[in-house]
Amino acid sequence: MSIQKEINKRRTLAIISHPDAGKTTLTEKFLLFGGAIQTAGAVKSNKIKKSATSDFMEIERQRGISVATSVMSFDYKDIKINLLDTPGHKDFAEDTYRTLTAVDSVILVIDSVKGVEPQTERLMEVCRMRKTPVIIFINKLDREGRDPFELLDELEDKLSIRVRPLSWPVGKGFMFKGVYNLYDKSFNLFRPNKTTLDDNLIVVPDLEDEILEEKLGSEPLKQLKEDVALIEGVYDAFDRQKYLEGELAPVFFGSAINNFGVKELLDTCIQVTPTPRGRETDRRMINPGEEQFSGFVFKIHANLDPKHRDRIAFLRICSGKFERNKFFHHVRLDKSLRFSSPATFMAQEKNLVEEAYPGDVVGLYDTGNFKIGDALTEGENLVFKGIPSFSPEIFKELINTDPMKTKQLEKGIQQLTDEGVAQLFVQHLGNRKIVGTVGELQFDVIQYRLLHEYSASCRFRTLNFFKACWITSDDEKKIEDFIRYKPENIAQDKDGNLVYFAESEWLLNKAIENNPAIQFHFNSEFKVN
């Protein structure tokens, strides 16, 4: 089969949301409809009744949240869906931001009770920045949520995107009757606590069909007719091109925990979401239909299976064909590598893959060759753009509390920071290790994983730094003078790049003002410019 035919069969998307909006539950129901799993766990009030398929790390099961992106592939109606379930917690936003570089479209989950929340706005800013197409799923319609029209207004106002409902709820909470699909003129009757995939779908030519009054009652049907008339009068018809350009977001309503409204969402997804798209590099734009293989690493996960101490680099294929046991060019290391056991995933379950195509995500067993952002090609030297590390906001010194386990601690912190959960900086004076993150919860996760995966115990001492930024200059002497003047504020990142720690916003601004020959960078994109 040609590469283009394989590309046309693929959809690569992420599910994103504020914590507890139902993102992981929706992911599971997608897998259920795709036949990838037979039963689904439920995430409720931050307690996991039955472990969610995509939350496989022990700490995730304990806390009831996702702290790492999970990668899953499954087939649905002859379409291969590569689905990435991302952390919702703001402390792990950087993992989500990087994941968005590896997908072609996004499903944004909104809680119908809470509406648009702060993390939702931040995630949407990244989508708009990349012009990533977004479908919105308003979840938890079985609860007493807010008015649907009010929610649509809030979406447009806070997320700065035009919306178009493609399904519409009848009632909410105890009075929730079901959802009318504006896209294909069908009505799905709601039945709570539905655990099977049998559907209560009624296909009607229009809203005058007598069966609707029989099923809904006259008053709810009257309200539905009024709502649909208002929708058709206020909102433009769905324009797929505007959706693909990131200007218009189709909106669906449902209840993921009840398997309700999910099938309509999934059916529309495979119809309207884009096939794998091109990617920009420091040399040129990579077209997915090119014969020559290329791809980039957007995520690294150590100890996916703690029993085997494995380390997996997740590779998004951008062009050409990936083949098992074929040699590919590692651009940064300038050497050829081949992979005997590449895998696709259903959360922690792995399947050996012989070949893969643009849009696919492949897990590569890694002995330390890969870093986030690394490129694999068939010989061309290029670096994919838009996979940055961001300037951390919280800084703590890593202190070893068991000198007998120093080697384990060194290995553990290196591997965990390779994953991108945090950044590691080293001050050579005293070999002080500083961990930088965007949230406090990451330190808990690091400490837990160091102890349980590497048998290394540690504690963290808070440092009073405001911001870390990378520094470069064309004038080597200016850099040397700056380091000599501020030695206690200088460290190196894992790649040996110089980093300046500022104690306050005022001191940072003064440093920038007083050193015009030095460039201060707030993300690592400067490395590929």
Amino acid identity of 150? E
Q: What are phi and psi of 298, to 5 degrees?
A: -110, -10
Count other Cβ atoms within 10 Å, centred on residue 2: 8
The more confident residue out of 309 and 427 is 427
CA distance linking residue 183 with residue 274, whole number of Å: 18
**β-strand 105-111 against 10-17: which pairing, if any?**
parallel
pLDDT digits (tens, 9 = 90+) for 151-177: 999 999 999 999 999 999 888 888 888
Residue 360: the pLDDT is 94
Cα(408)–Cα(415) distance, rounded to whole angstroms? 11
Alpha helices (H) along 186-247: 210-216, 218-234, 240-244
Q: Write the pLDDT tens digit of every residue in 388-400.
A: 666 777 899 999 9
Separation CA 213–CA 177 (nearest Å): 12
Instruction: Judge contact between 463 and 434, C-beta under 8 A.
Output: yes
Instruction: Answer with the residue of higher pLDDT: 91 or 311.
Output: 311
Q: What is the pLDDT of residue 161?
A: 92
Contacts of 117 (CB under 8 A, 6+ apart): 18, 21, 111
Strands (E), 162-275: 162-165, 167-170, 178-181, 186-189, 201-203, 248-253
The residue whose two tokens read 């504690």 is 459
**Chain segment 242-267, per-residue pLDDT in tens:** 999 999 999 999 888 888 888 889 98
Give the Å distances, CA to CA, from 498 to 471, 487, 505, 524: 6, 11, 19, 11
Q: What is the pTM of this model?
A: 0.77
Write the DSSP assignment of 293-340 as a string of letters: -EEEEEEEEETSSTTTT-EEEEEEEEES-EETT--EEETTTTEEE--S
Cα(461)–Cα(423) distance, rounded to whole angstroms?
16
Across 126-135, average pLDDT: 86
| Helical spans, DSSP H, in 21-173 | 23-33, 58-63, 93-100, 118-130, 148-159
Query: Which pLDDT score, from 0 to 100, does residue 210 have?
Result: 79
Find the mean pLDDT for residues 336-365. 85
pLDDT of amino acid 486: 85
Enter the tokens of residue 478: 């200016």
Beta pairing, strands 394-400 & 458-463: antiparallel
Q: What residue ranges define each of the domains in the chain, with the CATH number in brackets?
A: 3-177+238-272 (3.40.50.300), 279-377 (3.40.50.300), 394-528 (3.30.70.3280)
Summary mean pLDDT of the chain: 83
Residue range 36-40: average pLDDT?
60
What pLDDT digit, counting tens, does each position of 186-229 carry?
787 777 655 444 556 677 777 887 788 888 888 888 898 999 99
Decide if 209 contacts 277 (C-beta within 8 A): no
Nearest to 39 by CA among 195, 156, 271, 253: 195
Q: What stretch of H or E contains 70?
A: strand 70-76
Most confident listed range (209-213, 234-238, 256-260, 315-319) = 315-319
Q: What are phi and psi of 450, to 5 degrees?
A: -60, -40
